[in-house]
Amino acid sequence: MPPISAFDFNKFNARRLRIYASYVLHNIDTGRVLDPPLFKEFVERLRKLLKLPVAREGALRDSLFEYTGIELTEEVYARIAVKIASGYDEIRAGRPVLPSNSLPAGGLWFPIEVAEMRFDAVVNEKSYVKMTALILAGALAGRMFTQSMPAKSVSTFFATSLGWPKWGARPAHSELVLMLFTGRVVGDPRRGIQVDEYRCTASQLKRNKKMRAVRDEPCLKDCRYQCKTCPIGYSKCPRGTHRYTWVTRLCPSCKDERAIFDPAELNAQVCLLCRSRPARGAWADERRSVT
């Protein structure tokens, strides 16, 4: 794989969006299990989409083999798009991008995109936020991981590292979704891969600043919501602050008939607001010390 310092986000992102949109927007194979016959068709279609020569089909097939036997969902498509987009030059040269779980003792640096930020829990009267992040390049490209972080640190140190102004009102956690950073990823025996240290390159800071700016502009869809509270996910709107558009249904806890749920969490018993109420209450007290 090329060095992380040579990672061109704009070129990568254009290719990633092309792969993702070609399948998700047309619901191609969504919901089907990637069994051997479908896998063969899938590889051939993707090769043609990427305009790869027939001789490179083997490298593409080996790169995608880890996804065989699993259901093709929007999240799986997103991971496939990241892996193939970041490893395109390798595959075009005939070298497959094989999965890897090994990390040296000191970890490795990877470009990372924040996929979700949700209130998680309250521990010792302090609120925590669960970050879901996506590794964009390198040996772990396409890997998603979750990490619990103190809400206060997210709104101060982490947000500032991502280019948020040091002074003034601190961002809502959801406003950090889709921001980019470079993280030193280490292996944790209990929690899996985690970010131990983070920083931003000049190009990442530029992109993060642009994302903040467009979220302050008038809504593309004429919605009355601010981006940080809008129910539309970034799978439908590029300014979204969570992955999928929320759905509404009756919540057995608060009895609200139009309570919001994440469609990706099929087994959720209570709505998002009920689940986050304790953490939001603790964060309201903590926020006074960071504003």
Residue 200 has pLDDT above 90, yes or no: yes
15 plus 159 within the same structural domain: no
Provide the token pair at 115: 């996929």
Name the domain boundary from 59, 92, 125: 92
Residues 35-48, mean pLDDT to the nearest whole number: 95
Name the domain boundary from 92, 118, 148: 92
Domain of residue 214, residue span: 108-287
72 plus 139 within the same structural domain: no
Residue 167, by phi and psi: left (phi above 0), alpha (psi -120 to 50) or beta?
A: beta
Handedness of CA 100, 106, 112, 114 (dihedral sign): positive
38 plus 120 within the same structural domain: no
Name the domain boundary from 57, 92, 127: 92
In a domain, 67, yes or no: yes
Provide the token pair at 215: 């979220």
DSSP string of 61-104, one letter each residue = HHHHGGGTTSB--HHHHHHHHHHHHHTHHHHHTT----------
Residues 260-279, mean pLDDT to the nearest whole number: 92
263 plus 125 within the same structural domain: yes
146 plus 244 within the same structural domain: yes
* Structural domains counted in the chain: 2
Q: What's the pTM?
A: 0.91
**Which helix H or strand E contains 48, and what residues bound it?**
helix 36-49
**Which helix H or strand E contains 132, and what residues bound it?**
strand 126-135
In a domain, 103, yes or no: no
Write down the mean pLDDT value for the chain: 91
pLDDT tens for 54-65 read 999 999 999 999
Tell me the pLDDT band of 290, cut-offs 50, 70 and 90. confident
78 plus 152 within the same structural domain: no
Residue 188 pLDDT: 83
In a domain, 210, yes or no: yes
Residues 52-79, mean pLDDT to the nearest whole number: 94
Residue 168 pLDDT: 83
The answer to whether the CB of 66 falls within 8 A of the CB of 87 is no
In a domain, 28, yes or no: yes
* Distance linking the first and last C-alpha atoms of the chain: 43
In a domain, 97, yes or no: no
CA 207 centroid distance within chain: 16
In a domain, 82, yes or no: yes
139 plus 193 within the same structural domain: yes
